[in-house]
Chain A
Amino acid sequence: NAGVTQTPKFRVLKTGQSMTLLCAQDMNHEYMYWYRQDPGMGLRLIHYSVGEGTTAKGEVPDGYNVSRLKKQNFLLGLESAAPSQTSVYFCASSSWTGTNYGYTFGSGTRLTVV
């Protein structure tokens, strides 16, 4: 089915380890986003991209890096994981053309840093 696919769905990391979360969309959307969800805080924007080869910082970018080498993929990297990065991470893409505009979210990645 068309949509946004995130891998992996679950991951446990040790403090200091690195990892990359992959987001893939097959809807040809220009815009892609990475959010983190923490209890009582809703979803907060980490980084986003307005097109292939572009990235920009969101509300909480520290400790994360992103890349968008291909239009359909948006990668989120943690170079040195910290317990404060324990969270659920959501990728989303958006389209604002036509009448069926809006955001499509992936199913999330639960990351635990111990």
Chain B
Amino acid sequence: AQTVTQSQPEMSVQEAETVTLSCTYDTSESDYYLFWYKQPPSRQMILVIRQEAYKQQNATENRFSVNFQKAAKSFSLKISDSQLGDAAMYFCAYRPLNDYKLSFGAGTTVTVRA
């Protein structure tokens, strides 16, 4: 069963604009971690941002921010002031507190138009 769902296979954004990627997850746990990873054409998996479920404050990293809605089990990523270098596949991932395995969504390909 798919634990993490990314419903947008592809998203396109104009340079300097904002794009939001959606992610929902299924869990009965109350404590867990959520991640967004970026995978450019180089294949390298790059951590964009992470969120601990016990923290109510949404995580931010420069132009990247999340909207974490625990009750709705939603974890969206907002990329502000999009740059050409943001073009990549983005994966949402989930890890329960009592386990070390990371479960991934299917990914969203982001294209940035100049």
Residues of A within 8 A of B (CB): 31, 33, 35, 40-45, 48, 50, 58, 88, 90, 92, 94, 96, 102-103, 105, 107-108
Contacts and interface: CB of A to CB of B under 8 A. Distances in A.
B43 A108 contact: yes
Given A31-B100, A102-B50, A43 B43 contact: no
B99 to A, nearest CB: 10
A42 B105 contact: yes
Contacts of B44: 105, 107-108
Interface in B89-114: 91, 100-107
Contacts, number: 47
Given A33-B101, A48-B101, A107-B42, A41 B47 contact: no
Nearest to B45: A105
Contacts of A41: 106
Nearest to A48: B101
Contacts of B104: 35, 42-44
A45 B4 CA distance: 14
25 contacts: A31-B100, A33-B102, A35-B104, A40-B9, A40-B107, A42-B4, A42-B6, A42-B91, A42-B104, A42-B106, A42-B107, A43-B102, A43-B104, A45-B101, A45-B102, A48-B101, A58-B101, A88-B43, A94-B100, A102-B50, A103-B102, A105-B44, A107-B43, A107-B44, A108-B44
Nearest to A56: B101
- 4 closest A-B pairs (Cβ-Cβ)? A105-B45, A42-B104, A43-B104, A108-B43
B35 interface: yes
A50 B91 contact: no
